[in-house]
Amino acid sequence: MATKAFKAGLNGAYSYGSNPREAATKFFEEHPSRRKCGVIEGELEGDFFVVKYGKPWPRRWINVTKAVLGDVPTE
């Protein structure tokens, strides 16, 4: 059974959350030296994060920094 999730990451470092802001917040907490990340919507299927392209396209946020973290939606 797949569950909706969001993945924040950049260059091999990733964090997951149930909403985009949670994923980005976890990313900056777990990787404090990173300055920005990208967030994409997908599903967790077991141990795998799956992004399904098609209609509708998955939502994504690029160039998320700590300064704009408040602008990232909580759902």
Are residues 75 and 19 in contact, defined by beta-carbon separation less than 8 angstroms? yes
Are residues 65 and 31 in contact, defined by beta-carbon separation less than 8 angstroms? no
Q: What pLDDT is attached to residue 1?
A: 77
Q: pTM for the whole thing?
A: 0.91
Under-50 pLDDT residues of the chain: none
Number of domains in the chain: 1
Query: What is the bridge-based pairing of β-strands 60-65 and 3-10?
Result: unpaired
Domain of 54 in residue numbering reads as 3-71
Q: What pLDDT is attached to residue 59?
A: 96
